[in-house]
Structure 1
Amino acid sequence: MTSVPVKEIALGVESFGDEDAPLVLLAGGTTMLSWPDALCARLAAGGRRVVRYDLRDSGESTTADPEAPAYTLRDLAADAAGLVDALGGGPAHLAGIGVGGMVAQVAALDHPGAFCALTLAGTRPVAPGPPDDDLPDHDGATMGRLFARPMPDWTDREAVADFVAAGAEILGDDPVAARATAARIWDRTPGTAAPVQTANQLGMVFARLDCAPRWRERLPAIEVPTLVVHGRRNRFFPVGNGEALAREIPGARLLVLDEAATAIPDTAADEVADAMLTLGRP
């Protein structure tokens, strides 16, 4: 892992595969570890240069004030395009998961020349907050259980890992895998202050971003081959959100993972990688 300067900030990155191969850029949601190792390795084995990266205020990327971010969603989209330039591998296949999928949508719309393909995993076509009337919202009972829990002691690595694992179980994800990832994220987090930890572990900084203007109405302007990946058991962004993306982006392919929730499980890495590697082929 290292960091790459992009304009006035630095973005934490990790690379897999041949540096001369076509570039696949994986936007974190919010950290790069939202993208499982198994999927990165499978894409690299398929002849791609894979670079996963941390969004601002997470991981090895520039951290300022997660409680009052001085940047917008469109700045995060510009970061993705700037990273392609810095890496020298454009145009790139851009993939975003969760909130990173929102970044990826806006990046593809605002910087079309930087990207040749798009993968959107476990995300939706509108910003954090109440969704449009035709989109399913977070499952109420699940959110009630998730947010009723007291926050952990953010200075205690094991307590944080346990907290995240319990949340993953509520969401329908693998708690063992989530616990291991949370411990890795804790190790990479620059400090134990609660706002910084919640930005890394829970992505709470994203709810404080200026995400205007809306971009959903612009989705038909996306011209690159697009794959939408969504877990059928996703209770945070129910599958109807992925179905809407696939309808509104011309020619998009929808891949529903029947046994997945919010995370891409290692058991689905081959299926997702194969779909990404063949994106755009007849």
Structure 2
Amino acid sequence: MSERMIRVKDIELCTESFGNPAHPAVLLIMGATASMLWWEEDFCRLLAEKGFFVIRYDNRDTGRSASYEPGRPGYTFEDMADDAIAVLDAYGVKKAHFAGMSMGGMLVQIIALRHPDRVQSISLVSTMYFGPGWEELPPMEAKVEAFFNSMGEMDWYDPQTLLRNAVDKWRILAGSKHPFDEERVTALAERDIGRALNYSSSFNHSYVTGGESYLGRYGEIQTPALVIHGTEDPIIPYVHGEALRDSIPVAELLTLEGIGHELPPAEWPAIIGGIAKYAAL
């Protein structure tokens, strides 16, 4: 693996690559508030071993990428989508397979419409549906909403408080199929907090605007789409995955029984296998 800082206009983004640059590229985009570390190193290596050049990167306001004043993101979702293309440009990649989780999946949808000539396939993991009737779909579970609401009272300057909050967040988002791996999640969260330029700025993602003109235009997506969704996702319920599958012209739904809003290692073979299958179409 190799970490690399790239320049995008007036900011820098932190990126990392795995595998042979001559192989087909897969770009991984993580969800809101989460750095690229949550596409875990072993996940990236296993995907690279399938014959892909895997790139992950820190979105703005996460990890070592550009950080903005808390509560004041100076960018839009279109900017974040264009960041992904800038990452490909920096690596000399003309077209790639894109995989995005949660907000990352929303960005992938925008990219598929905004930059269709750069996209070979898309994988949407735990991603919200924004098409007709989306307002009628179930909202996030009450326990998740209550957890996020409680964060306003948190001490953002105490590393141990931040760590406990991060671990508790992933615990509440997990499904029932696998025991919650507190040791693994704690280690990831410690690294995430420790390397962040400004960890509190990661919550700027909840203030980002834009992207409205792209959302819901599923019939225009020209590339094959793999939708990956857990049946116990408490923040973006499983029916969103079904709606995405039914709305994108060429799409398949990979159902993860008993899985929440998470990427547990026991499910990596299925997830990686699905991404690899669609990348081969």
TM-score (norm 1): 0.88
Tell me the secondary structure at the aligned position of residue 245 of structure 1. helix
What are the residue-to-residue correspondences of 1:241-280 with 2, within 5 Å? 241-279=240-278
Match of 1:122 in 2: 126
Whether contact under 8 Å (1:189, 1:197) holds in the other structure is: yes
Tell me the secondary structure at the aligned position of residue 103 of structure 1. helix
Comparing 218-227 with 5-14, greater Cα deviation is found at 5-14
Q: Deviations over 1:164-207 (max 9, x none)?
A: 112222222635133222111111111xxxxx42343xxx2122
Query: 1:150 Cα deviation (Å)?
Result: 6.3
Query: 1:68 Cα deviation (Å)?
Result: 1.2
What are the residue-to-residue correspondences of 1:145-224 with 2, within 5 Å? 145-148=147-150, 151-172=153-174, 174=180, 176=182, 177-190=184-197, 196-200=198-202, 204-224=203-223
Identical aligned pairs, as a percentage?
31
Instruction: Check if 1:72 corresponds to 2:84.
Output: no
Q: 1:9 aligns with which of 11, 31, 39?
A: 11
Q: CA 1:59/1:49 → structure 2, altered by over 3 Å: closer, same or farther?
A: same
Partners in 2 of 1:18 and 1:274 — Cα distance?
A: 19
Match of 1:193 in 2: none
Whether contact under 8 Å (2:67, 2:201) holds in the other structure is: no
**Number of residue pairs the alignment of both structures matches:** 271
Partners in 2 of 1:257 and 1:233 — Cα distance?
A: 9
Partners in 2 of 1:146 and 1:175 — Cα distance?
A: 21
Match of 2:25 in 1: 23
Match of 1:45 in 2: 49
Query: 1:142 Cα deviation (Å)?
Result: 3.4
> What amino acid does structure 2 have at the position aligned with 1:259?
G
Whether contact under 8 Å (1:17, 1:44) holds in the other structure is: yes
Comparing 84-93 with 153-162, greater Cα deviation is found at 153-162
Query: 1:40 Cα deviation (Å)?
Result: 0.8
Q: 1:104 aligns with which of 108, 129, 149?
A: 108
Partners in 1 of 2:40 and 2:258 — Cα distance?
A: 16
> What amino acid does structure 1 have at the position aligned with 2:258?
E
Q: Aligned-residue CA RMSD in angstroms?
A: 2.1
Query: 1:281 Cα deviation (Å)?
Result: 4.5
TM-score (norm 2): 0.89
Tell me the secondary structure at the aligned position of residue 139 of structure 2. coil
- Which consecutive residues of structure 1, in runs of 5 or more, have no partner in the other structure? 191-195
Q: Deviations over 1:40-97 (max 9, x none)?
A: 1111111111110111111111112241112111111111112112211220011111
